[in-house]
Amino acid sequence: MTRAQLEVGELVLLTSGAYSDYEVLLLGRVLRPLTREVYEAACVALRSGDYVDPNQLAAWLLREGYLEEVEFKELALRYVAPKWEAL
Local structure of 48: helix, strand or coil: strand
**Structural domain contains residue 83:** no
What is the pLDDT at residue 18?
86
**Structural domain contains residue 35:** yes
What is the pLDDT at residue 81?
59
pTM over 0.75: yes
**Structural domain contains residue 63:** yes
What is the pLDDT at residue 14?
94
Share of the chain above pLDDT 70, in %: 86
**Structural domain contains residue 44:** yes
**Structural domain contains residue 87:** no
42 neighbors 60 (Cβ within 8 angstroms): yes
**Structural domain contains residue 46:** yes
pLDDT of 1 over the 50 cut: no
pLDDT of 36 over the 60 cut: yes
Structural domain of 60: 5-69
Domain tally, the chain: 1
Mean pLDDT of 61-79: 89
**Structural domain contains residue 31:** yes
| Cα–Cα distance for residue pair 11/29, rounded to 1 Å | 5
Among residues 67, 72, 71, 69, which one has the least CA distance to residue 7? Answer: 67
